[in-house]
Structure 1
């Protein structure tokens, strides 16, 4: 099936008093497809929410790092959804346009202000069929418990399979959910959705004002130290294409407070088994026996801050497909690494995850589980779509739908409101083992420990936002 490309019409405007001196410059034309399926083409299968393929046009204005670069080079370096040959053919055949018009060659230079349009037969990845939980709702806000594995906004390969689109599908086409904060796709937990612009702006202002305090729960490899652990290592984005961030001296300032809630050693642990694990050649992480449940209090907000800091401390999130992946970071899992010597090798190995290889975190390195995941994991199947020749992926496994990172509690420092969820299932004690099942006030170090560490003032001074819940201006989502 072929779809016509239709240049979008300019918005009506009042004519200027003096056309020769009209101060506004019309933006470049974009391209749209005459296709807006409603209701969204969802269907549920095998515990997944899926979307039937449909035609769609991406419109993206030139980013600063794209200026002065060739069009094909931008697609090759920024997008990994499809092979280079696909993008080259799409440009030549006119499915990629610049400012609403086909380009003469793949080497066309992109300039500031240009709009790149890409029309394609869209294949969205499945997400969990788990419903979006409602923690609180009133006339102004909905406080949700976001399921892991679902992005907040349409982005990249996701459109209808996003929090905003799913909520709109549930409540009606004309309803416009306005996220006040944002969680990573793989992260679960509390989010604020404004029902109208003023409510979204008010909550976003609170988050920007640093009066909102946050607590995350995670499950990490090995026995995390007791007491308060503060990590202040700066973080640098290494590859926006791969979503890779590392500790670097020239990165942005970052600070996180961690406190262990519980440690669970492996079952049937004994000296002989411990010695066997420690001698396991090429798997140093196996000496980190068992796992810990850790509370995280972000003071700043950098991309993947909690994930990167935990990896640097030697206790990565156990099922993190990037930072706890031995195939990417080697047997030490990147502990204490802060130089760029191995960056190229790391990016090369990471680029193969989800394409030629399964992105397996160490939590799934048990032999039986590993064999299951090799059968049930998202990677290229070798088949292509009959309509557009797009390489097709297999369905993701349950282990790929999220990581052990949950936004458990957000509360107003002025005492006006306090929202929290229970502990996620993966943070509860194993069967027949005693351990915390709730986070009580007596065990809550949020107020006491931050005051003791004299971090409350630094939080206000730094004026940064936690990456996992970066505030969004309501106007950006309108």
Structure 2
């Protein structure tokens, strides 16, 4: 076979691919250690410090002016502040100053440097339920966010734990609780452990039980709520029952009901409709229930929204149990979007010019909140940055009556739980359960009997369970 001679050609390497470098960002020239905490009046406070937020353009920000983004997405400062911050260079885009009317596009990075004033949180420590070489199971205090977000940075679970265990400790949360919610959380000590448990939780092989204190007499037996939930306002953290929302299912079982406590004599109170009559305060006429909750899906504010829809909102919920926002019925059975704009406008005032009141049942309660100086604009300004300052939060703003009591592996390999929180125990002078009872255990419910499963799928409830398509009748 003859060989074919191929002319020699010198090797010509292809031109190297040149990647576009990411946009420049601003880096705050400090990272205080130890963290600038101090404890005062039962609160964990943080001394103000300079800090830079660097945020990639979110999808919903694309094609919008930068001032419009700040005005609509962030509520802790007035729009005049953001306009001045952009014009003075405290807010820059890709490391360069821009005008307030500059349009933001995909890939842009917004940097905002400010003198940061963190809200105080409870001084209650992060409790440890269990610890081994891989995982820390904690009892998260109410009112403390899990991750740095919004107005909170060092006053977050991960930063508090880092401050306690050393600068190099990197807490890896495996599940997340709302800031106002307390209870069981899993903190991985290393990535492999955190990823393993996170997969279990996402695959719905972990059962979760919460306990809540709600307004009125909650029905006995299993109550199944299957109302879809839609996010109405990310800025205000508002979610509502809507037909076009995401599937959401929760099973509830009552642990206890505590009827109104009689007083020595009548008192004149103003009812929500403005009528003054003799009798006890309106809230106390309803009493309250302790309810155990089994969420089968994991929507934002799922338990809070479902309980509101059922007519039994969490008794101190600053959003969903607020008469100034939702009216006398507190949004019971409301799945109509017609009043969303009005609700958002009223909710936006809370924590600004008005007291962010939870359960504003009557004037006496409002007066009590005012005496406690609930968080609102104080009228004072920072000497360093001229930022408007908030007053301290009231007790009702440091947490709500919602507690993640137990997490358990569906296969029975592990289970971690906490005792009932103080607010779930019987009130003075009344008898009631001081611990969870087997009869009311939502994790022991036969989900197959209810045509439900742990993955959230469902059909019609049977065998005496209450399947809720409409709100429960309000207790007298």
Does TM-score exceed 0.5, indicating one fold?
yes
The alignment yields a C-alpha RMSD, in angstroms, of 2.6
Which position in structure 1 is the counterpart of 2:212? Answer: 218
Structure of higher CA gyration radius: 2
1:253-272 per-residue CA deviation (whole Å, 9 max, x = no partner) reads: 111111111100011289x9
**Matches of 2:237 and 2:454 in 1, distance apart?**
31
- After TM superposition, give the deviation of residue 364 of structure 1 in Å: 7.2
Which position in structure 1 is the counterpart of 2:64? Answer: 69
Which shifted more, 365-374 or 294-303?
A: 365-374
Aligned ranges 1:182-193 → 2 under 5 Å: 182-193=176-187
**Matches of 1:228 and 1:275 in 2, distance apart?**
35
Which position in structure 1 is the counterpart of 2:465? Answer: none
Among candidates 82, 93, 97, match of residue 77 of structure 2: 82
Among candidates 239, 242, 246, match of residue 233 of structure 2: 239
Q: Which runs of 5+ in 2 are unaligned?
A: 1-11, 460-476
SS in 1 for 2:224: strand
Which shifted more, 450-459 or 340-349?
A: 450-459
Is 2:391 aligned against 1:394? yes
1:135-167 per-residue CA deviation (whole Å, 9 max, x = no partner) reads: 000000000000000000000000000000000
SS in 1 for 2:448: helix
Is 2:36 aligned against 1:32? no
Is contact 2:52-2:114 (8 Å) kept?
A: yes
- After TM superposition, give the deviation of residue 282 of structure 1 in Å: 9.7
Q: Which runs of 5+ in 1 are unaligned?
A: 1-16, 463-478
Which shifted more, 220-229 or 362-371?
A: 362-371
Is contact 2:142-2:179 (8 Å) kept?
A: yes
Which shifted more, 183-192 or 20-29?
A: 20-29
Closer, same or farther: CA 460–141 of 1 in aligned 2, 3 Å: farther
Closer, same or farther: CA 419–357 of 1 in aligned 2, 3 Å: same
Closer, same or farther: CA 144–366 of 1 in aligned 2, 3 Å: farther
Is contact 2:215-2:312 (8 Å) kept?
A: yes
Is contact 2:360-2:366 (8 Å) kept?
A: no
Stretches of 4+ moved more than 3 A in 1? Answer: 17-21, 272-288, 363-366, 372-375, 440-443
Among candidates 347, 357, 363, match of residue 344 of structure 2: 347
Is 2:161 aligned against 1:161? no
Which position in structure 2 is the counterpart of 1:403? Answer: 400
Which position in structure 1 is the counterpart of 2:419? Answer: 422
SS in 2 for 1:215: strand
Which position in structure 2 is the counterpart of 1:113? Answer: 107
Is 2:300 aligned against 1:306? no
Among candidates 159, 169, 179, match of residue 173 of structure 2: 179
Output the TM-score relative to the length of structure 2. 0.88
Which position in structure 2 is the counterpart of 1:149? Answer: 143
**Matches of 2:276 and 2:95 in 1, distance apart?**
53
Is contact 2:369-2:394 (8 Å) kept?
A: no
Is 2:95 aligned against 1:100? yes
Among candidates 305, 329, 350, match of residue 326 of structure 2: 329
- The aligned length equals 445
- After TM superposition, give the deviation of residue 26 of structure 1 in Å: 2.2
